[in-house]
Chain A
């Protein structure tokens, strides 16, 4: 990451509490690498940023984290996107998961800008609110956006081992000179992507007429289908695929769903599973 943050929304309380952060915006060239990632072709030539630090030497030691899937569990939030030349637009310069806040910039306070110091100061105060709130999930899988990104790269990266966890050998053969074709497969089926050794499009859900594997409505429908003799086996298989919990009977599934509905979330990063937020963890409603 370079020395600036992207000029996105400043609504989050880390820009206001306890002190106002007033960045000075500038327009910097859009890094070429951003074009290599999904959506990068739509970015303008120059992009709005603000300086967080002015290190005495050329900046090093700053880092962004992948933004894909960052917000897919209620314990995590991307606070600031970092201007970088190695990852995607929107990669996270400052982010939080549970009681941990990663400040991706590297400069010590004396070489932060005034706005940078204020933000750092506010972040220290902000993370204090999460005393006792340990992370809900640990990283198990990549977000589904990786399927699209990897498809875009299929003829650019020569080492095919890179794709072993992404695509089947049959897909590699079929699309080896057609990245656009493979990208379309995953872009069209984006809401149905799951992991089973590689990225797959869920045909079981398609057969049931369901359009997403990560909505609470889908989960509710699968539980209802347990009482439908025609679809019960498939529904049970899907519940096993997508729910961290497990029950024997339809009644148990229904009781679990009724009790936890408002605290159920789906996380790709947490293993492509529906999970329940523990009672008392949330500071605001999930939906």
Chain B
């Protein structure tokens, strides 16, 4: 019985690993990492941060994560693309202060991202 469980466990692990490998290949058929440095700002320590970080790390040359509550525009200067995200309490998510002169390429995500855009009076927004 114990032996059967061990075998099932190994099979499950192999299936998961294969699924992960297949997914990575499906997402990026070249298999090569894109030469971009990504800075992800989200909810520090959350499963969501881990989810994004794993995906990004598979496909981009360098990925770092920071906590959106402590957003600092100066910290983005060493990166090529910035991602601003949050996972809970959409309407209470941090709304970082981003100076009008900020020009770093930036992806904002979901409702928290729309609030950030609204605050900057961009066309993307919540209303």
Assuming the contacts A19-B29, A99-B105, A128-B80, asked whether A135 and B111 have C-beta atoms less than 8 A apart, the reply is no
**Segment at the B interface, from A30-38, A62-70, A254-262:** A62-70
Within the complex, what minimum Cβ distance (angstroms) separates B109 from chain A?
A: 5
B126 at interface by CB-CB < 8 Å? yes
Interface centre among B48, B100, B106, B123 (most CB of A within 10 A): B123
Q: Is the CB of A97 within 8 A of B55?
A: no
B72: chain A residues at CB < 8 Å are none
Assuming the contacts A97-B124, A109-B52, A110-B55, asked whether A103 and B110 have C-beta atoms less than 8 A apart, the reply is yes
| A residues 121-149 touching B (CB-CB < 8 Å) | 121, 123-125, 127-135, 138-140
A104: chain B residues at CB < 8 Å are 110, 113-114, 124
Q: Is the CB of A109 within 8 A of B51?
A: yes
Q: Which of B51, B59, B83, B103 contacts A134 (CB 8 A)?
A: B103
B108 at interface by CB-CB < 8 Å? yes
| B residues 62-100 touching A (CB-CB < 8 Å) | 80-81, 83, 90, 100
Q: Is the CB of A62 within 8 A of B123?
A: no
A76 at interface by CB-CB < 8 Å? yes
Q: Is the CB of B80 within 8 A of A131?
A: yes
B122 at interface by CB-CB < 8 Å? yes
Q: Is the CB of B114 within 8 A of A102?
A: yes
B23: chain A residues at CB < 8 Å are 114, 117
Q: Is the CB of B108 within 8 A of A103?
A: yes
B121 at interface by CB-CB < 8 Å? yes
| A residues 150-206 touching B (CB-CB < 8 Å) | none
Within the complex, what minimum Cβ distance (angstroms) separates A121 from chain B?
A: 6
Chain B interface mostly helix, strand, loop or mixed? mixed
Within the complex, what minimum Cβ distance (angstroms) separates B76 from chain A?
A: 11
Assuming the contacts A60-B90, A63-B111, asked whether A100 and B34 have C-beta atoms less than 8 A apart, the reply is no
Q: Is the CB of A133 within 8 A of B108?
A: no
A23 at interface by CB-CB < 8 Å? no
Within the complex, what minimum Cβ distance (angstroms) separates A2 from chain B?
A: 13
Q: Is the CB of A108 within 8 A of B123?
A: no
Q: Which of A62, A108, A129 contacts B111 (CB 8 A)?
A: A62
Q: How far is the CA of A102 from the CA of B38 in the complex (A)?
A: 16
Q: Which of B30, B52, B117 contacts A100 (CB 8 A)?
A: B117
B107: chain A residues at CB < 8 Å are 100-103, 123-124, 127
A132: chain B residues at CB < 8 Å are 103
Within the complex, what minimum Cβ distance (angstroms) separates B127 from chain A?
A: 7
B61 at interface by CB-CB < 8 Å? no
B18 at interface by CB-CB < 8 Å? no
B126: chain A residues at CB < 8 Å are 63, 65
Within the complex, what minimum Cβ distance (angstroms) separates A44 from chain B?
A: 28
Assuming the contacts A133-B103, A134-B102, asked whether A127 and B26 have C-beta atoms less than 8 A apart, the reply is no
Q: How far is the CA of A155 from the CA of B1 in the complex (A)?
A: 72
A269 at interface by CB-CB < 8 Å? yes
Within the complex, what minimum Cβ distance (angstroms) separates A81 from chain B?
A: 13
B120 at interface by CB-CB < 8 Å? yes
Q: How far is the CA of A100 from the CA of B117 in the complex (A)?
A: 8
B83: chain A residues at CB < 8 Å are 124
Q: How far is the CA of A133 from the CA of B102 in the complex (A)?
A: 9
Q: Is the CB of A128 within 8 A of B123?
A: no
Binding site for A on B (CB under 8 A): 23, 26-30, 34, 36, 38, 48, 51-52, 54-56, 59-60, 80-81, 83, 90, 100-114, 117, 120-127
Binding site for B on A (CB under 8 A): 18-19, 60-63, 65-66, 69-70, 73, 76, 92, 95-106, 108-110, 114, 117-118, 121, 123-125, 127-135, 138-140, 269
**8 other A-B residue contacts (CB within 8 Å) besides A18-B30, A19-B27, A103-B110:** A95-B124, A100-B122, A104-B114, A104-B124, A108-B48, A121-B27, A128-B81, A134-B101
